[in-house]
């Protein structure tokens, strides 16, 4: 029988550039896997997190094996490329930091000695490996479990793209269902059999099939009175076991969960699960945490899943890469409908070897996750046109879409488009369904433009299913104001933004799915936003998972059936006035407010309740909100002057960006370039290295794009020439604006 040993303990680690060791380096740091070397410097800002090779070394003995047994090493995730050596012999190179890979080491391990395993993990930029660039930290390390798997010579296949040698799918037939189980066997013997057994949640056998153990065999099993997997409403799961039987012995065995379900997307009515309308409303998630980076434990993954469950979401977009199997399992168990995707994000490399890598990452994503009933959508790209469009890009996307359908014809393909991509773009016709990342009301425009844009798309393309793959705005829970506005990073503005978006989404069931960006703040070491270094602060929950921002409770009011009441603005605790408005979120029909134990008033309403002119008569004021037996209480303090800590010193006033155009003269039509000075023909990265030139560029970029940009945001496109990037972001950019920017840059010598 198969034996599995975890190899997570007793590793030695070093990120110092050196020759690969041939004996265990005792002087190296002791670490336990999961491990990343960027858990601190990948979240502290400065765009200077360590990118390079980190070495891991470990000694293992030789497992007690039977004659003919095969020994595999399995790595569930190494960022972003890995080379594995056993006893100084290179046995595999794996390119892609988010998927499982295995290697047969039977012939390499030696029985009469300890065996040295050395893994070189490399998170430096590599032209042929995705992602090329993105707005999140590319953590390096051996950040998921490592295992040793011992199997008999005849076993369920371990060599095909990290799969388990078993795939299951289902088709509903009235009150019943048919389950197709494909098994893949390495070295089957003539008399071997495979038995596939389906158990219900009470561990009773509901169906079973015995067939000969061919290299590939399809089992068709009937489930009477099938209990369907109905998302968060009823995530019922069967358990499937495939056993390889030789005479009277089970020689190998694999298993998976099975959710019997069917789904479709109607462009006019949205998502349907098992024939039942179920508008998908949820969040996106990155796989990192404060001080831990991406080296999460199974407990960390479940903590995230349960927070998502609390908010009442029924869908999760797992961005922008393959996530840990533990999280997909949690989604199966809790009933979240999942969008899973590969890291083909922000920029395509034209090198054909890069497309080979995108294809291999898609193959791994699908093969390794085929059995998860929670996954209904495969994402082939995210904002890929932000770095420019081309015929090659379109062909590559079409090829990925075709590959995805060839690997799995039971699910739909999708992609997340960057906001400036025109509605009529050919890109919107490539995948089965499509979504857009829109940030009206944050990076540019007004909040109401979200409504206008999606209504316009839906009217223009009524037969095209459209969703929202990203929307959101940043909030630092320290920043507070009575006059919230775009770009101020206040918790109050984030709340106003999401109040509008939550209502806008609820009124449009034809949006096939909406995914808030993001459930949690996440590491982005290039960023310096909202007074916080190294993070994207758009989360509804902080990076350490300790504090749920006010906006979290807006969605809980819209999505969750769990009764609650929440007083907003609690971190804006010191108020320099005699009266204040108190905002309360709840999913109950009425809320009663009390001040220092005395009832102030009762409001009936929906989701958002605002009590006007609540008196602040004492220094400390206890305010309580109650609905039936549910109560929330917060203490506020009356002060004589505003707390300066509530103000963000470097907030961007987007109302002033038009001032940049004041000095433009209409006769500036010729671009002259002195190569000794900066120009629009330099790359973004070259210009940002000079503080003065960088300031000119960011001021101009804000004015031209009307977008809330910072140097960290532009830094993602550091390899693009300035003129090329601006023409991509704003196709109808005035020539006079381009010329004026060039003139300002030419004043600054290199």
Catalytic residues: 383
Q: Cβ of 666: how many Cβ atoms within 10 Å?
A: 6
CA–CA separation, 300 and 545 (whole Å): 10
3-class DSSP assignment, residue 242: strand
Phi, psi for residue 711 in degrees, rounded to 5: -60, -35
Phi, psi for residue 692 in degrees, rounded to 5: -65, -45
End-to-end CA distance of the chain: 67
CA–CA separation, 531 and 420 (whole Å): 28
Place of tokens 């042929």: 128
Residue 96, phi-psi category: left (phi > 0), alpha (psi -120 to 50), beta (remainder): left
Tokens of 39: 């858990």
Q: Please provide the DSSP assignment of 495-532 as one string.
A: HHHHHHHHHHHHT-TTSSEEEES-SB-EEEEEEEETTE
Question: Nearest 10 degrees: CA dihedral of 533, 535, 540, 541?
Answer: -80
The answer to whether 454 and 468 are in contact (CB under 8 A) is yes
Length of the chain: 750
Place of tokens 């909040």: 447
Q: What is the DSSP letter of 548?
A: B
- 715's enclosing H/E stretch is helix 711-715
Chain centroid to Cα 35, Å, comes to 20
The answer to whether 627 and 606 are in contact (CB under 8 A) is no
CA–CA separation, 321 and 286 (whole Å): 9
Place of tokens 């694999």: 254
3-class DSSP assignment, residue 320: coil
Phi, psi for residue 343 in degrees, rounded to 5: -85, 45
Strand partners, 57: 12, 118
Question: 285, 249, 253, 279: which is closest to 266 by C-alpha?
Answer: 279
| 508 exposure class (CB count in 10 Å sphere: 0-12, 13-18, 19+) | middle
CA–CA separation, 29 and 164 (whole Å): 34
Q: What is the DSSP letter of 658?
A: G
Strands of the sheet with 598-604, listed across from one edge: 574-575, 630-638, 620-627, 590-595, 598-604
Tokens of 420: 């400036």
| 190 exposure class (CB count in 10 Å sphere: 0-12, 13-18, 19+) | exposed
Give the CA angle between residues 470, 473, 475 to the nearest 5°: 140
Q: Please provide the DSSP assignment of 382-428 as one string.
A: ESGGGG---HHHHHHHHHHHHHHHHH-SSSEEEEEE-TTS-TT-GGG
CA–CA separation, 651 and 644 (whole Å): 14
Q: Which residues does 635 contact at the CB level (< 8 Å), separation at least 6?
A: 573, 620, 621, 622, 623
Phi, psi for residue 707 in degrees, rounded to 5: -115, 150
Q: Cβ of 61: how many Cβ atoms within 10 Å?
A: 11
Place of tokens 């800002």: 45
Q: Please provide the DSSP assignment of 120-164 as one string.
A: EEE-S--TTSS-SS-SS----B--S-EEEEEE-SSEE---STT--
CA–CA separation, 747 and 302 (whole Å): 55
């Amino acid at each position: 029988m198969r034996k599995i040993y975890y190899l997570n303990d007793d590793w030695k680690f070093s990120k110092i550039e050196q020759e690969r060791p041939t004996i265990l380096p005792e002087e190296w740091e002791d670490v336990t896997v999961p491990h990343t070397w960027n858990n601190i410097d990948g979240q502290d800002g400065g765009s200077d997190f360590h990118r390079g090779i980190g070495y891991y070394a470990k000694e293992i003995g030789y497992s007690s094996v039977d004659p003919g047994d095969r020994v595999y090493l399995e790595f569930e995730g190494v960022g972003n490329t890995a080379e594995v050596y056993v006893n100084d012999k290179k046995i595999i190179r794996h390119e892609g930091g988010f998927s499982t890979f295995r290697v047969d080491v039977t012939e390499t391990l030696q029985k009469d000695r300890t065996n040295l395993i050395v893994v070189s993990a490399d998170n430096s930029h590599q032209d042929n490996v995705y992602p090329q660039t993105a707005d999140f930290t590319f953590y390096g390390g051996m950040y998921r479990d490592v295992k040793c798997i011992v199997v008999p010579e005849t076993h369920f296949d371990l060599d095909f793209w990290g799969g388990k040698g078993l795939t299951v799918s289902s088709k509903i037939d009235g009150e019943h269902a048919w389950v197709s189980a494909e098994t893949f066997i390495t070295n089957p013997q003539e008399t071997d059999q495979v038995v596939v057994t389906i158990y219900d949640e009470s561990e009773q056998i509901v169906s079973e099939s015995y067939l000969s153990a061919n290299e590939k065999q399809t089992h068709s099993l009937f489930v009477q009175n099938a209990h369907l997997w109905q998302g968060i409403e009823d995530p019922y799961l069967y358990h499937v076991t495939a056993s390889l039987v030789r005479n009277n012995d089970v020689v190998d065995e694999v298993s998976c969960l099975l959710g019997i379900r069917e789904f479709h997307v109607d462009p006019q009515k949205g998502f349907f699960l098992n024939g039942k309308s179920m508008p998908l409303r949820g969040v996106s998630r990155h796989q990192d945490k404060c001080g831990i980076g991406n080296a999460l434990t199974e407990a960390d993954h479940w903590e995230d899943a349960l927070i998502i469950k609390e908010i009442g979401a029924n869908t999760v977009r797992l961005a922008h890469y393959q996530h840990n199997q533990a999280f997909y399992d949690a989604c199966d168990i809790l009933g979240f409908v999942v969008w899973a995707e590969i890291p083909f994000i922000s920029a395509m490399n034209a090198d054909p070897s890069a497309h080979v890598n995108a294809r291999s990452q898609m193959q791994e994503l699908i093969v390794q996750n085929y059995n998860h009933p929670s996954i209904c959508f495969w994402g082939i790209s995210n904002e890929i046109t932000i770095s420019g469009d081309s015929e090659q890009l379109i062909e590559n996307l079409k090829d990925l879409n075709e590959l995805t359908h060839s690997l799995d014809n039971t699910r739909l393909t999708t992609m997340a488009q960057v906001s400036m991509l025109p509605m009529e773009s050919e890109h919107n016709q490539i995948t089965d369904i499509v979504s857009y990342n829109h940030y009206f009301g944050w990076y540019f425009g007004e909040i109401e433009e979200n409504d206008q844009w999606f209504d316009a798309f839906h009217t223009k393309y009524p037969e095209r299913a459209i969703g929202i793959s990203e929307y959101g705005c940043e909030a630092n829970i320290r920043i507070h104001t009575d006059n919230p506005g775009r770009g101020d990073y206040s918790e109050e503005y984030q709340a106003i933004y999401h109040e509008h978006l939550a209502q806008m989404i609820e009124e449009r069931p034809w949006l096939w799915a909406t995914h808030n960006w993001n459930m949690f703040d996440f590491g982005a070491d290039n960023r310096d936003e909202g007074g916080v270094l190294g993070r994207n602060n758009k989360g509804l929950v902080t990076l350490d998972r300790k504090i749920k921002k006010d906006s979290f409770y807006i969605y809980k009011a819209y999505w969750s059936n769990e009764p609650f009441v929440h007083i907003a603005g609690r971190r804006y605790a010191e108020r320099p006035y005699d009266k204040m408005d108190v905002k309360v979120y709840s999913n109950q029909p009425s809320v009663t407010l009390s001040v220092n134990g005395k009832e102030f008033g009762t409001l009936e309403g929906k989701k958002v309740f605002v009590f006007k002119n609540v008196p602040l008569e004492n220094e400390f004021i206890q305010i309580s909100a109650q609905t039936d037996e549910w109560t929330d209480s917060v203490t506020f303090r009356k002060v004589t002057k505003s707390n300066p800590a509530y103000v963000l010193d470097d907030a961007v006033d987007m109302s002033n960006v038009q001032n940049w155009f004041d000095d433009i003269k209409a006769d500036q039509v010729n671009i002259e370039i002195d190569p000794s000075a900066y120009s629009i023909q330099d790359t973004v990265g070259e210009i940002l290295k000079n503080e003065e030139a960088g300031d000119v560029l960011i001021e101009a970029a804000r004015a031209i794009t009307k977008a809330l940009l910072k140097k960290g945001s532009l830094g993602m496109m550091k390899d693009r020439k300035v003129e090329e990037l601006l023409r991509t972001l704003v196709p109808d950019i005035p020539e006079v604006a381009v010329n004026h920017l060039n003139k300002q840059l030419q004043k600054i010598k290199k």
